[in-house]
Structure 1
Amino acid sequence: MRQQREKQLQIELLRSLRPVFTLWLILVALSAFSVRGLSLNVYGITQPNSATFTAIVLTVLVVVHGGCGWLMPSFMKYRFGQVGLLILQIVVALIAGSLIGFGQGMLYIGIVPIMLLEAANLFHHVWIAIGSLIGFYVFIWIGILLHTSFRESLPLGATGLFVTFIVVYYWFFFRKQIQQRQHAEELLAELNIAYQQVEDSATRAERRRVAQDLHDTLIQGLAGTVMQLEAAQQFMKQDQADKAQATVDRSLTIARQTLKESRTTLTNLRDDSETDLAARLGLLINVLQSKYGFEVTTSIKASPVLPAETLTQIVRCVSECLMNVYKHAGVMSAIVKGQPVGDHHYQLQVVDFGKGFKLSQTKRSQDHYGLTELEERLARVGGTVAIDTVIGEGTTVTLDVVTSK
């Protein structure tokens, strides 16, 4: 499982860097071609027909090199396919360097980091790749230093080190972002499983309680009625009509009492199973605290009478809100408050003191932080959702549902 997650991380990392690598490659090619032209002018070398030819060939090589990098994520499951693409990139880079001549230093400075980081992603040795990258730049700088003066070679060496820093920084930045997203997705999947387990556990506990209540009322009452009727039957066989009648009367009394108690029990069962909001939230929060170390403080006042479907949607909405806090707020704690509002409304609030966000931008984005799903869930049961968020201070999500009238 860990290897699969690492493989998925590598694929996501390369895919997310595709646009960056492509833009970088174009800029490097243009810079190298410009350096070549300037160098030819400085040294007074004239090649009237070679500029167009070099530009065309260099464009083709850049497209081939970039295409290999673009296809790399699709070949992640084929180790030899990845190696083949990497080798092809190296060959293309060497051909382009020999073709461009004076601009090859700039070309290598820009292209080699991409290939080394692709190799690091392929062979799982990031620090070896970074060390190789720095060593390569030192090697190029020494080679240039041997053919020029220290003053002339210094800008190229400084440029190489700067490029190394930028590439390595963004590599780790993107890798960390993808790791955090994957971790949050894994936790969300586990939370969904845990929520289903909570639902199943609550169902099993409810069944046991129903069985116990039925045993204490209906079954025992029926047993008493049967015993009384059997006694009446014996009295009738013995021609003791008065005793038989009295026994039947007692049986009717027991049956009526049993019927009354059964109705009361069913009413209590219906109320308890539909309105136990605090208990359902407690099960969910216990899972969050025990499995993920996410602390939730609760204050549920006067739980209302809720239909089963409404209760389920409310608990799922609270679960989604808490996961949003975990994924996006940058804190490991939240507050869940519940209280009646008026005669026929009940409000639940999920409060965090995290980093907050811009609500207008979030609604326009594709992710929405699950806000659309929250609105749809509550709309099914006649509820509404309101969000109050301030950057740097936190977010409050208010869930409002209509209670029984």
Structure 2
Amino acid sequence: MPPKPPRPKPVRRAVQKEILTKGRPASIAWLLIVACLTLGMHNATLIATGQVTKPGPSVTWLAWLVIVAFVVLVGGLIWLLPRLMTVWLWQWGVIIAQLALTVGVGTWLHGGQELLYMGMLPLMLIEGLNLVSDRWWVIVLIWLTYGAVWVSYGLNTNWTRMAVMIQASLFTAVVVIYYWRFYSHQVDERLKSVGGVTIGVQAIRSLNCS
């Protein structure tokens, strides 16, 4: 783990906190969509491989419980992000916990793990870019973890599918980082303008008082 980074500027921290706070409903909605798609793919895999003979709601109860527990734990962390970002160890703890949960559930699943990995990638990238002060260390950690996951995936399936998943991951990361930079710049400018107006009002008040 890298050394403790210097304390970020107040304006940048305010931008990060606003993005995390306002993005919670969308993140949880996306998490639910990913969970439903993962269960659907898991069910389809069981049917295709002959483990389930009848189509329909045939996902095992254990798979339901695992996915529901995953959604509850990750969703709880997402909702607490604005509070957890105040302590350096909690910032890293959230990212590591989500990576561990994603890899653990994806490894346990037999079918649907690709959707789980790809669905969680943009969420963790956005959190890493806004939660941790030294965000590029988090991006490196996420990429190292996903690199190991896709290599293992290629060894267990085939290298063509692994190459496709790596390309999809790279494309997702580029899109997320691009739009994050665009949106954070807008929020940054707005907060700076609000701060400038506040300083101007305070200066006028001080002149009037004098």
Shorter-normalised TM range: 0.7 to 0.9
Write out per-residue CA displacement over residues 367-394 of structure 1, whole angstroms, 9 at most, x where no aligned residue: xxxxxxxxxxxxxxxxxxxxxxxxxxxx
Letter of the 1:16 partner, please give it.
Answer: K
Q: 1:9 to 1:82 in 2, by over 3 A?
A: same
Does the 8 A contact of 2:17 with 2:130 survive in 1? no
How far has the Cα of 1:192 moved from its partner?
Answer: 0.8
**Partner Cα separation in structure 2 for residue 153 and residue 92 of structure 1:** 21
Rg larger in 1 or in 2?
1
Which residue does 1:182 correspond to in 2?
191
In structure 2, which of residues 152, 173, 190 is the aligned counterpart of residue 164 of structure 1? 173
Does the 8 A contact of 1:105 with 1:140 survive in 2? no
Write out per-residue CA displacement over residues 226-283 of structure 1, whole angstroms, 9 at most, x where no aligned residue: xxxxxxxxxxxxxxxxxxxxxxxxxxxxxxxxxxxxxxxxxxxxxxxxxxxxxxxxxx
Decide which structure has greater helix share: 2
Decide which structure has greater strand share: 1
Write out per-residue CA displacement over residues 195-215 of structure 1, whole angstroms, 9 at most, x where no aligned residue: 335545xxx7xxxxxxxxxxx
Which residue does 2:46 correspond to in 1?
40
How far has the Cα of 1:6 moved from its partner?
Answer: 3.3
Which residue does 2:101 correspond to in 1?
92
Does the 8 A contact of 1:113 with 1:133 survive in 2? no
Write out per-residue CA displacement over residues 106-147 of structure 1, whole angstroms, 9 at most, x where no aligned residue: 212222443354344343223333344444444433333333
Does the 8 A contact of 2:35 with 2:116 survive in 1? yes
Q: 1:60 to 1:23 in 2, by over 3 A?
A: same
Letter of the 1:175 partner, please give it.
Answer: S
Unaligned runs of at least 5 residues, structure 1: 205-405
1:6 equivalent in alignment to 2:15 = no
% identical aligned pairs = 26
Q: 1:42 to 1:151 in 2, by over 3 A?
A: farther
**Partner Cα separation in structure 2 for residue 24 and residue 89 of structure 1:** 15
1:55 equivalent in alignment to 2:67 = no
1:105 equivalent in alignment to 2:111 = no
Does the 8 A contact of 1:134 with 1:164 survive in 2? no
Within a 5 Å distance, the mapping from 1:6-405 to structure 2 comes to 6-46=12-52, 51-199=60-208
**Partner Cα separation in structure 1 for residue 143 and residue 98 of structure 2:** 19
**Partner Cα separation in structure 2 for residue 4 and residue 120 of structure 1:** 16
Unaligned runs of at least 5 residues, structure 2: 1-6
Q: 1:74 to 1:16 in 2, by over 3 A?
A: same
TM (norm. structure 2) is 0.76
**Partner Cα separation in structure 2 for residue 120 and residue 69 of structure 1:** 14
Does the 8 A contact of 2:39 with 2:59 survive in 1? no
Superposed CA RMSD in Å reads: 3.0
TM (norm. structure 1) is 0.43
Write out per-residue CA displacement over residues 156-179 of structure 1, whole angstroms, 9 at most, x where no aligned residue: 333322322232233223322221
**Partner Cα separation in structure 2 for residue 55 and residue 70 of structure 1:** 22
Does the 8 A contact of 1:11 with 1:73 survive in 2? yes
Q: 1:198 to 1:128 in 2, by over 3 A?
A: same
**Partner Cα separation in structure 2 for residue 127 and residue 91 of structure 1:** 19
**Partner Cα separation in structure 2 for residue 150 and residue 93 of structure 1:** 22
